Amino acid sequence: MSDARRPEPSFEWPRPAPRDQGGIGTMRGRTIALAVAFCAGFGLLSLRAVQIGLFRPVDEAATAARAAVAPPSKRADIVDRNGQLLAISLVAHSLYADPKRIWDPVEAARALRKVFPEMDEASLVEKLSSRSRFVWIKRRLTPKQKQAVWELAQPGLEFIEESERIYPMGHFAGHVLGSMHPDGSGINGIERALNDRLTTGSGAEPVRLSLDMRVQYILERELGEAASAFRAQGGAAVMLDAKTGEVIASASWPFMDPNRPEANTPNQQNNRVTNSRFEMGSTFKVFTVAIGLEDNIITPESVFDARAPMRIGSELISDFHGMNKIVSVSEILAHSSNIGTVRIARSVGAPRVREFFSRLGLMEAAGGELLENARPILPKRWSEIAAATASFGHGIAVSPMAVAGGYAAVSNGGHYIRPTFVARDPAVQVSSRVVLTPATSKTVVKLMREVVTNGTGKNADALGYEVAGKTGTAEKAGPNGYDSNRRVSSFAGVFPASDPRYAIVFLLDEPKGYAVSGGAATAAFAAAPSVSRIIARSAPLLGIAPNRALAQMEPPRAPTLKSAPPPKTNPSQKATQGEP
Amino acid sequence: MTLTRTHLFGFVGLVALAFALYWAKAEAQAVREKVLVLQDEVDTERRAVRTLEAELTWVERPDRLEAAATRRLGLVPMTADRIATLDDLDQIAPLRVAPPTVDAKPIAPKPAEPAADKSKAIAAMPAPVATVVAR
């Protein structure tokens, strides 16, 4: 039982000895002053320690350090419609120098030349002794080079992280992808056209193109082989999804490797699919026939007089494959009669030809998103003669892409859809404009199929996939009129004919005949066989089931007899064996 | 002023609390730093993954794969006449019904026969596209 009011025992503080009392001059005074000073000092220190220990945000220092090494801004990846990587930004190290901190420019330059033997010593010395605080030595080193420079241990040489754009597929789809300026903007292709979309936003979402790289590869392979076998000046090939306008594959020869933009000549950089214009020749006849059918001026059985060359104004129009007889519309297409086509064009009239071509997108730049997108060269005045020559593809020069768009429109039930290089969302309705009735479209496809089964396009057929289309061999205009030695040979078509899903255009610019093609460089030999092989190989990848009627023609119990399509109608297949 | 035991305990408690707070903050700082180090590692790994992705795409280029598949595996592109639906199967390779005998002897070799047939057929099959592929 303790008393609650009993005071707690108190501490005895040390008391000064009685004789040591006095002012500041005394020993005691000095001691106290010193004690006060120490106390104040330690007090301040402890207060600061408490402030730092208890009241400062936890990660201030660390985040500040981290911000200094933030990675360079990221450009979105580009992938194809199946997610295959086409362009990716990686972090690379670039080397720069701070000349103020260089001890001996000559020594530093010599050291650098050990790593970069291709550099010029004099210009290096000049760079390293300049007055500025920053000079680039080399952008985007390989890891090996970086290590080597590191080991030089030269003061004043510094690394900086930069974004590097890599195109892991090499030259495949190079023209579509385009390339990058070292400073981070697109020079051409999608890199330029969609620069804003690639750089803004989170940067994490890749841009999905409509290309299918498997088909792109097949297209480029055939284009490259045909172009070198026929020693062409250039070539272009494009495949469109006729129902959505998506570009499945697009190739221009000579190819371009976007990884080395500085190594590509302007001729290589030119995307002939969208940026070159050609007088396409007979492939246009399909459009002319379509107008006639749509306006009920002709039927597939209508006949025209193609017995003699025809004179319009000062021009004499004759046939390459002269038939010299009365021909039906299907024969006009199958044997590519200029005279017959002009007669159809005259009966529909020049204004209608012009209006229809414009609805088909042939009178505007049709290159999709790309900015390398040439406008067509059109007749200045759509006179009767201009419309007559345009009806068989002369006097009007368009890009191969425009022709592909036109073929897609006349075969897909009559809807023109602007081509696009970006994958469409299947849930979103495709905007289109009506150019033909579905019935006309069906008839046109039937006529195109006859070109391949009975006409000039025989070499384009692919076993089981019902190719329909039209050959076109146009002479190029030179200083002295059309030159019969310089041609543009092309094939434009769709497949499968029973329900056209894909449109394809294949073109060689100035192909030269050679032994294996029998000296011929017309479309039937220079373009059609390649189309056949492209379709035969890509259709299974695109999920198109082959026509069974063909399989039934095979002897069912003798699998040894079943082999690939007979190569006898494919002169340039042998060609590819003969030519390296 | 007299200092009681309450003052003493209070002071000691305060110091203990301050220390506890300091300790907690120091611990948090350490953990935070560890997180940052891990994040850095994650970033490095991500970069490495992206580099590897690019390299993988490069070695998986279709021209390279085709050349390898042709040379090393003898594969050729598929042609339309090698695609069939299930309905066609009966016509292409009809089932061989064993003759209604009790003797098991002829049944045994028969299933093996078409297989041998087929492998011979495949071996004898010309590879027309392979010639195009070879450079």
CA distances from residue A500 to A106, A465, A468, A559, B45 in whole angstroms, order as listed: 69, 10, 9, 30, 47
The alpha carbon of residue B23 is apart from the nearest alpha carbon of chain A, in Å, by: 9
Beta bridge partners of B80: none
One-character DSSP codes across A190-236: HHHHTHHHHHSS-S-SPEEBS--HHHHHHHHHHHHHHHHHTT-SEEE
Query: What is the total residue count of chain A?
Result: 580
Distance CA B37, CA B82 (A): 56
| Gap between the Cα atoms of A498 and A465, Å rounded | 9
| pLDDT for A150 beyond 80 | yes
* B11 contact A CB<8A: no
CB A63 within 8 A of CB A194: no
Rounded Cα–Cα distance for residues A88 and A206 (Å): 9
Residue bearing the bigger pLDDT, A8 or A134: A134
Section A11-25 average pLDDT: 62
Q: Is-contact B78 A540, C-beta < 8 A?
A: yes
Closest CB to B88 among A217, A462, A548: A548
Percentage of the residues of chain B whose pLDDT score is greater than 90: 31
Exposure class string for B19-41: b at 16+ Cβ within 10 A, else e: eeeeeebeeebeeeeeeeeeeee
CB distance from A477 to chain B under 8 Å? no
Positive or negative, the Cα torsion across A297, A299, A301, A306? positive
CATH number of domain containing A430: 3.40.710.10
Interface of B with A in 74-133 (CB under 8 A): 77-85, 88, 91-92, 94, 117-118, 120-121, 124-126, 128-129, 131-132
Clarify whether residues A158 and A275 are in a common domain: no
Highest mean pLDDT, choosing among A403-417, A557-571, B34-48: A403-417
CB A92 within 8 A of CB A141: yes
Residue ending a domain, choose from A152, A180, A208: A208
Least confident of A47-61, A216-230, A306-320, A383-397: A47-61
Does A197 share its domain with A272?
no
Angle at A92 between CA A88 and CA A98, to 5 degrees: 150
**Is residue A247 one of the residues assigned to a domain?**
yes
Residue A271 CA to residue A250 CA, distance in Å, equals 9
Residue A417 structural domain: 215-578
Strand pairing of A157-166 and A85-97?
antiparallel
Q: What pLDDT, in 10s, does the model give residues A79-110?
A: 999 999 999 988 888 899 998 888 888 888 88
> What is the predicted ipTM?
0.72
CB contacts of B82 in chain A (<8 Å) are: 562
Q: Could you give the CA distance from residue A158 to residue A141 in angstroms, rounded to a whole number?
A: 12
Identify whether residues A193 and A221 lie together within a single domain: no
DSSP state of A377: B
* Contact indicator for A339, A309 with CB cutoff of 8 Å: yes
Mean pLDDT of A206-214: 94
Same domain membership, residue A148 and residue A265: no
Is A58 in Cβ contact with B28 (below 8 Å)?
Answer: yes
Q: Is the pLDDT of residue A555 over 60?
A: no
Max mean pLDDT among A305-319, A361-375, A496-510 falls in A496-510
pLDDT given at position A189: 93
Of A171, A190, A208, the one marking the end of a domain is A208
pLDDT band at residue A316 under the 50/70/90 scheme: confident
Q: In the prediction, which pLDDT does B96 show?
A: 74
Could you tell me which residue, A262 or A417, shows the higher pLDDT? A417
Residues A472/A283, Cβ–Cβ less than 8 Å:
yes
Tell whether A243 and A187 lie within a shared domain.
Answer: no
C-alpha distances out from residue A553 to A274, A348, A548, Å: 41, 42, 9
Does residue A67 fall inside a structural domain?
no
Enter the tokens of residue B12. 């000691």
Q: What is the pLDDT of residue A242?
A: 95
- Give chain B's length: 135
Cα Rg for chain A, rounded, in angstroms?
A: 38
3-state secondary structure of B24: helix
Q: Does A467 touch chain B (CB under 8 A)?
A: no
Report how far residue A509's alpha carbon sits from residue A486's, in angstroms, rounded to the nearest whole number.
Answer: 8
CB A285 within 8 A of CB A523: no
Question: Residue A496: what pLDDT?
Answer: 92
Active site residues of A: 282
Q: Do B132 and A59 touch (CB under 8 A)?
A: no
Per-domain boundaries in chain B: 62-133
For chain B, the average pLDDT equals 75
* pLDDT tens per residue, range A421-476: 999 998 889 999 999 999 999 999 999 999 999 999 999 998 889 999 999 999 88
Q: For a pLDDT cut of 70, what percent of chain B falls above it?
A: 70
DSSP A280-336: -GGGGHHHHHHHHHHTTS--TT-EEE-SS-EEETTEEE--TT---SEEEHHHHHHTT
Mean of pLDDT over chain A: 85
Confidence class of residue B126 from pLDDT cuts 50, 70 and 90? very low
The confidence band for B84, taking pLDDT boundaries of 50, 70 and 90, is: confident
Q: Which long-range contacts (CB under 8 A, 24 or more apart) does B116-122 make?
A: B117/A559, B118/A559, B120/A560, B121/A559, B121/A560
Residue A450 and residue A355 share a domain: yes
How many domains is chain A partitioned into structurally? 2
**Per-residue model confidence (pLDDT) at position B1:** 61
Q: Is residue A544 part of a domain?
A: yes
Q: Is the pLDDT of residue A372 over 70?
A: yes
Residues A110 and A253 reside in one and the same domain:
no
Question: Are residues A324 and A296 part of one domain?
Answer: yes
Specify whether A466 is located in the same domain as A362. Answer: yes
**A539 contact residues in B (CB cutoff 8 A):** 80
Q: Which two tokens stand for residue A556?
A: 């069912």
Give the three-state DSSP class for B97. Answer: coil
Q: Are strands A207-208 and A78-79 parallel, antiparallel or unpaired?
A: parallel
Strand A234-241, strand A247-253: pairing: antiparallel
Residue A179 and residue A303 in one domain: no
Amino acid identity, residue A59?
D
- Output the CA–CA distances (angstroms, integers) from residue A75 to A72, A78, A79, A94, A185, in the order listed: 9, 9, 13, 18, 10
Residue pLDDT, tens place only, A185-203: 889 999 999 988 888 766 5
Q: What is the CATH number of the domain that holds A183?
A: 3.90.1310.10
Residue A486 has pLDDT above 60, yes or no: yes
* Angle subtended by helix axes A350-359 and A338-348, to nearest 10: 100
Work out the minimum CA distance from B13 to partner chain A, whole angstroms.
Answer: 16
Beta bridge partners of A138: A95
| Percent of chain A at pLDDT exceeding 70 | 86
Distance CA A47, CA A52 (A): 9
How confident is the model over B115-123, as a mean pLDDT? 41
Identify whether the C-beta of residue A576 lies closer than 8 Å to the C-beta of residue B132: yes
Q: Are residues A476 and A458 in the same domain?
A: yes
Is A238 in contact with A250 (CB distance < 8 Å)?
yes
φ, ψ dihedrals at A308, nearest 5° = -135, 150
Q: Rounded to the nearest 5°, which phi and psi values hold at A278?
A: -130, 145
pLDDT at A71: 54
Residue A554 counted as domain residue: yes
Q: Do B83 and A545 touch (CB under 8 A)?
A: yes
Q: Same domain for A255 and A344?
A: yes
Mark out the alpha helices in A5-72 (DSSP H runs): 27-50, 60-68
